[in-house]
Every structure is written in structure tokens, then in C-alpha cells.
Amino acid sequence: MDSRYAELASGYNGFGCGGCDDLCCNGVFVHFTLIEHFYLAEGFRKLPPGKREDLLRRARQYNEAYSRVSSPEAKFRMPCPLNEDPLCLFYQYRPVLCRVYGLPGRLRAAGGRIQEFKGCWRFEKDRGSGKREYLDRTPYYSRLANLEKELREKLVYFQRYRKTVAQMLLDEKRPEALIMRTYDFFEGY
């Protein structure tokens, strides 16, 4: 996915995030797979203890502010706890949505329906209505879904999963974090 993204971006005159004054990492991204959670946790556990505490503090601040806003996905803006001026501290471990964001994308659903995603605001501003090549997310999402299925079967875990990066980080302090919750409000934090 990363190499295909880079290939497409180079075709768009090396489109990238450098110099952008509206950091997309300030928006709310919600993630849906355990496998992304565990991969992020792998990156987290490699950090020295002081840095981990620092990130947990930022995650707590983020989550407290996030929990106060109704419809946060539409209204809430705050830098992701993993964002450091303006880079992602966990670039290698970042979730899939962070990897595909920016370029216009396409996804073929199981029934054959094609869903299209616009590029980020800067991409759309720079490209206007010009011809565009889409990042086909289908093979990557399908591989991710297969890995997720395999993992869940091994863990015997079939509950819905829905978390922000801040919540994933906070789960490091909550061993029961993956246990089912039947409510979404505040996500139990």
C-alpha cells in the first residue's frame, strides 16, 4: 500500500504533506481492526518508558477533550497524540487510514459497488478538476480483512472494535480493554 501510494504520489508531481498548513492529523480518525491496534502497540512498547508516559499523558488529554464533544468526527480538532511537529512518531506503525489519506481512492465492496473517496483538501485544491488516478484500496483492505479474520478466530474475539489512536494507547494501561462493551458513549474511558 505504501509503495503504491508513493508511486501514485510521484505521478502527481511528488504530492506530499510537506508545508501543508492544515494538518490532517488534527482531524478525528476512527479505526476498526484489532490488528491495527496490536501493530500500533508493538511500536508503543519499543519506546523508552519516559516517552511512553509522555504519550499516555497526551492520549489522556486528547481523550478527555474528545469525550466532551458530541459528534467529534465532525466537530473535534486536536493533534493526534502521536503527532510531533508535524511528523507521525509511529510512521511505520500508523493505521491504514493514515496511510491512504491524501490521494483520491476507490474501494470495491463485496457486492461489487464502487465507493470513491476524494483526496484531502490540499490535493483537491491543487488538482482542481484535472484528470486523476485513484489509489485502489480494494486489495489492501481485503488483505487486512483476511488478517483480521484470522486473528479474531485465534483470539475468539468477534466484538465490534472502534477506537481512536488515543484510545488504543490508553488501552496499554487497561488489561481488560478489549473486553466487549455494549455502548459507544465515551467508549468506556
Residues in touch with ligand SF4 (CB under 6 A): 25, 29, 80, 82-83, 88, 90, 94, 98, 165
Smallest separation (angstroms) from ligand SF4 to the CB of 142 = 22
Per residue in 84-114, is it b (16+ CB within 10 Å) or e — as a string?
eeeebbbeebbbbebebbbbbbebeeeeeee
Q: What's the rounded Cα separation, in Å, for the pair 104 and 164?
A: 22
Measured from the CB atom, the residue of 12 and 93 that comes closer to ligand SF4 is: 93
Q: What's the rounded Cα separation, in Å, for the pair 94 and 49?
A: 20
Measured from the CB atom, the residue of 56 and 88 that comes closer to ligand SF4 is: 88
Smallest separation (angstroms) from ligand SF4 to the CB of 17 = 9
Smallest separation (angstroms) from ligand SF4 to the CB of 114 = 26
Measured from the CB atom, the residue of 8 and 82 that comes closer to ligand SF4 is: 82
Fill in the DSSP letter of residue 149: H
The DSSP annotation for 101-124 comes to TTS-EEEE-TTS-EEEE---HHHH
Smallest separation (angstroms) from ligand SF4 to the CB of 120 = 12
Measured from the CB atom, the residue of 103 and 165 that comes closer to ligand SF4 is: 165
